[in-house]
A and B are shown apart, each in its own frame.
Chain A
Amino acid sequence: MIFAVLALVTAIVVAMMVWPILRKTKAPPTRAAFDMEVHRDQLEEIARDLARGTIDAREAQAARAEIGRRMLALASEPAAEPAHTGGSRLLAAALALALPATAFALYIDRGAPGAPGVPFAEQRAAGTNQDPQIVEFARTLRARVASNPEDLEAWVRLAQVSAVFNMAEDALNAWRTADRLAGERPELAGPLGEAAVLAANGQVTPEAQRAFARVLAADPGDPRARYYAGQALAQAGDLNAAVRMWFDLAAASAPDAPWLPTVREAMTQAAREARIDLSRLRPSPDNRPAVSSIAPPQSVFAAGANPSVPPGGQALLALPEAERAQAIRGMVEGLAARLEAQPDDLEGWQRLARSWQALDEPEKALAAYARTAEIAPDQIQVLDAYADALLALHDPDTRLDASARKAMASLLERSPNNALALWLVGLDEVAAGNQLAATALWQRLLALLPEGTPARAELVERIAKLKAGN
């Protein structure tokens, strides 16, 4: 359909370009013809003047002779060369061919003829979670808070579900209500602040700042509140204080803390803008470990039925511990069996990999991660997740298998400063006995780690050991 329309449009454009070229142009009147016309008029005028008697016959005769001479002179001038049309016919043909051909070639190169159409309704749905169970769950929650506006648990759940649906305003309002109902507890202040930031497109609003200040008053170590407090400082233009805040947070975080890349990126950017030399910074003497003692928001209501689990899951929760584990394992095995038939389902394999990891099945998890890397060998995020899993699951004293080595090499090629990949490939080289290669990789890694972090200290020690062994 769309291609028929495009072909039609192309045809119209070609026609519009070719038409004026092919059209037989009426030759413009030549100068000579025009002059001849003027002289003919003059002759008639002389005849009229003679008839009226304004001039006599002799004068008329002389004038006629003069005009006649001029007309003769005109007639003997060489005729204007005829307009040539041969070249333009060739040009028209070339245009008619070249335009569609170029358009088609460009489309083949840049376009995606195989891509499915994305109607507007689907675009909207893509941003949200389409799981019908969750949609149903959200509807139940809205009914619950409508009938009982004091239902703290329903408000907290609604806030969490709204966040899943990317409805930042709704999530913020739900957190506000829940926070008020719970009597402004620090357990809710963190998520409230984060929701306020999301609703304001990343701006740490005064409301969010107050919320995070409450969290930090209850637990000065809380990493989320520290990160956003730094963000507030940076947005207010106090880059020095922001960098200091983030530097302490990064230094106090475990090397595999999920927030670490975000914190580092924010810190590096602010430091660059404020021309702060990060390598000269040292962690504050009173720096706190980046761990939070604040309980999750669910803890503010008495643990009863757990409505955050969709209906099917409700039954799961009712099972005794051992049976539940068995049932979950059964589900994951079902997923694994289904994926055998769908070796290219990236999302499915990612889910399977995470599930095996959660079930503490390192070998199966790594095999599933290896599959994701084979499906998408050039997606940094996929390779990153694989690297994460290798760090957690792989025995560091043994070599990586061929597929993991290939994936990490690909990751390093695409992001040469990927700390995880540098570390893992370095370990692999050590296991293979290539101390020199390992040292080179780890030197690169060393340059990426901020001074004074535990990870850096360990790396320095490892490199020293490698050099001593040589």
Chain B
Amino acid sequence: MKRLLFLVPLAAFLVLAGYLGFGLTRDPQKVPSALIDRPAPAFDLPAVPGLALAGLSNETLKGQVSIVNVFASWCQPCRVEHPIFMRLARESDVPILGLNYKDKAEDARKWLGDLGNPYRAIGYDIEGRVAIDWGVYGVPETFVVDRSGTIRFKHVGPVTPAVLDDMLKLIAQLKRAA
């Protein structure tokens, strides 16, 4: 009986390994979000200081199907997806709204100056509080919000051409639905 006690750590390890192993087979970008099909949390963010662009609040979201992109100048994957938003801003009329996450204003300004600015409005979330309300746990993240201000889609990680296609299909649908 006492001997069996020694097997407890091994059993615990096996259980943990099995659980983590199962976790490895799952796509981390498909985390179920509690916010899907729920109204976006109430928020009102100022503009990025020194940038001639409006801030972001629930009012901005109302009445238009829009893309909300959480970004930061210190985030490398954000650089990768940025040209995709630049092209989208050039070639379509879907408003892209930015949520600048835990960034210094001057860094954000330089970043947008170097890489271009696809955003119609940017909320400056230096403390990251609003991002927490939105359920953001890593930049970049991208949301699609419908006319009523309800979150319809969420993508964690850089947007790829394939993800963009999915988003554009959904946006077209949402526009027709209204």
Q: Is B14 an interface residue (CB 8 A)?
A: no
B116 contacts A206, C-beta separation under 8 Å: yes
Minimum C-beta distance from B162 to chain A (A): 9
Q: Is A239 an interface residue (CB 8 A)?
A: yes
Name 5 A/B residue pairs within 8 A (Cβ), A-sorted.
A203-B79, A203-B80, A206-B86, A236-B84, A273-B161
Q: How far is the CA of A273 from the CA of B160 in the complex (A)?
A: 10
Which 6 A-B residue pairs are closest in the complex by CB-CB distance? A236-B87, A237-B161, A236-B83, A235-B83, A237-B84, A206-B116
- Chain B residues lying within 8 Å of A203, measured Cβ to Cβ, are 79-80, 83, 115
Residue among A203, A204, A232, A239 with most chain B CB within 10 A? A203
- Chain A residues lying within 8 Å of B115, measured Cβ to Cβ, are 203, 205-206
Q: Is A200 an interface residue (CB 8 A)?
A: yes
A205 contacts B114, C-beta separation under 8 Å: yes
Q: How far is the CA of A303 from the CA of B96 in the complex (A)?
A: 51
Q: Is B164 an interface residue (CB 8 A)?
A: yes
One digit per residue, 1 when the CB lies within 8 angstroms of any chain A CB and 0 when it does not, for chain B 64-83 equals: 00000000000000011001
Q: Is A257 an interface residue (CB 8 A)?
A: no
- Chain A residues lying within 8 Å of B80, measured Cβ to Cβ, are 203, 235
A237 contacts B87, C-beta separation under 8 Å: yes
Minimum C-beta distance from A275 to chain B (A): 10
- Which residues from 16 to 62 on chain B have a C-beta closer than 8 Å to any C-beta of chain A? none
B114 contacts A236, C-beta separation under 8 Å: no
A232 contacts B161, C-beta separation under 8 Å: no
One digit per residue, 1 when the CB lies within 8 angstroms of any chain A CB and 0 when it does not, for chain B 134-178 equals: 000000000000000000000000001100100000000000000
- Chain B residues lying within 8 Å of A207, measured Cβ to Cβ, are 114
- Chain B residues lying within 8 Å of A344, measured Cβ to Cβ, are none
Q: How far is the CA of A239 from the CA of B160 in the complex (A)?
A: 11
Q: Residue on B with the closest CB to A235?
A: B83
Q: How far is the CA of A206 from the CA of B87 in the complex (A)?
A: 11
Minimum C-beta distance from B66 to chain A (A): 19
Q: Is A164 an interface residue (CB 8 A)?
A: no
B116 contacts A239, C-beta separation under 8 Å: no
- Chain A residues lying within 8 Å of B87, measured Cβ to Cβ, are 236-238
Q: How far is the CA of A206 from the CA of B115 in the complex (A)?
A: 6
Interface residues of B (CB under 8 A from A): 79-80, 83-84, 86-87, 114-116, 160-161, 164
Q: Residue on A with the closest CB to B86?
A: A236
Minimum C-beta distance from B107 to chain A (A): 15
Q: How far is the CA of A206 from the CA of B79 in the complex (A)?
A: 12
B114 contacts A237, C-beta separation under 8 Å: no
- Chain A residues lying within 8 Å of B79, measured Cβ to Cβ, are 200-201, 203
A232 contacts B114, C-beta separation under 8 Å: no
Q: How far is the CA of A206 from the CA of B114 in the complex (A)?
A: 7
Minimum C-beta distance from B51 to chain A (A): 17
- Chain A residues lying within 8 Å of B160, measured Cβ to Cβ, are 237
Minimum C-beta distance from A168 to chain B (A): 13
- Which residues from 155 to 214 on chain A have a C-beta closer than 8 Å to any C-beta of chain B? 200-201, 203-207
Minimum C-beta distance from B91 to chain A (A): 9
Q: Residue on A with the closest CB to B164?
A: A237
Q: Residue on B with the closest CB to A270?
A: B161
Q: How far is the CA of A112 from the CA of B26 in the complex (A)?
A: 39
A200 contacts B114, C-beta separation under 8 Å: yes
- Chain B residues lying within 8 Å of A205, measured Cβ to Cβ, are 114-116
Q: How far is the CA of A196 from the CA of B80 in the complex (A)?
A: 16
Minimum C-beta distance from A372 to chain B (A): 38
Additional 4 contacts, C-beta under 8 A, given A206-B115, A236-B83, A274-B161: A203-B83, A232-B83, A237-B160, A238-B87
- Chain A residues lying within 8 Å of B83, measured Cβ to Cβ, are 203-204, 232, 235-237
Minimum C-beta distance from B155 to chain A (A): 14
- Chain A residues lying within 8 Å of B116, measured Cβ to Cβ, are 205-206
Q: How far is the CA of A205 from the CA of B82 in the complex (A)?
A: 10
Minimum C-beta distance from B23 to chain A (A): 27
Minimum C-beta distance from B56 to chain A (A): 23
- Chain B residues lying within 8 Å of A206, measured Cβ to Cβ, are 86, 114-116
Residue among B83, B114, B116, B161 with most chain A CB within 10 A? B83
Minimum C-beta distance from B82 to chain A (A): 8
Q: Residue on B with the closest CB to A273?
A: B161
Q: How far is the CA of A124 from the CA of B83 in the complex (A)?
A: 33
Minimum C-beta distance from B106 to chain A (A): 17
Minimum C-beta distance from B86 to chain A (A): 6
- Chain B residues lying within 8 Å of A200, measured Cβ to Cβ, are 79, 114
Minimum C-beta distance from B129 to chain A (A): 30
Residue among A204, A206, A273 with most chain B CB within 10 A? A206
Q: How far is the CA of A139 from the CA of B83 in the complex (A)?
A: 37
Q: How far is the CA of A232 from the CA of B79 in the complex (A)?
A: 13
- Chain A residues lying within 8 Å of B161, measured Cβ to Cβ, are 237-239, 273-274
Q: How far is the CA of A203 from the CA of B115 in the complex (A)?
A: 9
Q: Residue on B with the closest CB to A207?
A: B114
Q: How far is the CA of A367 from the CA of B136 in the complex (A)?
A: 63
- Chain B residues lying within 8 Å of A237, measured Cβ to Cβ, are 83-84, 87, 160-161, 164
Minimum C-beta distance from A276 to chain B (A): 12
Minimum C-beta distance from A111 to chain B (A): 30
Q: How far is the CA of A216 from the CA of B79 in the complex (A)?
A: 25
- Chain B residues lying within 8 Å of A232, measured Cβ to Cβ, are 83
Minimum C-beta distance from B28 to chain A (A): 20
Q: How far is the CA of A273 from the CA of B87 in the complex (A)?
A: 19
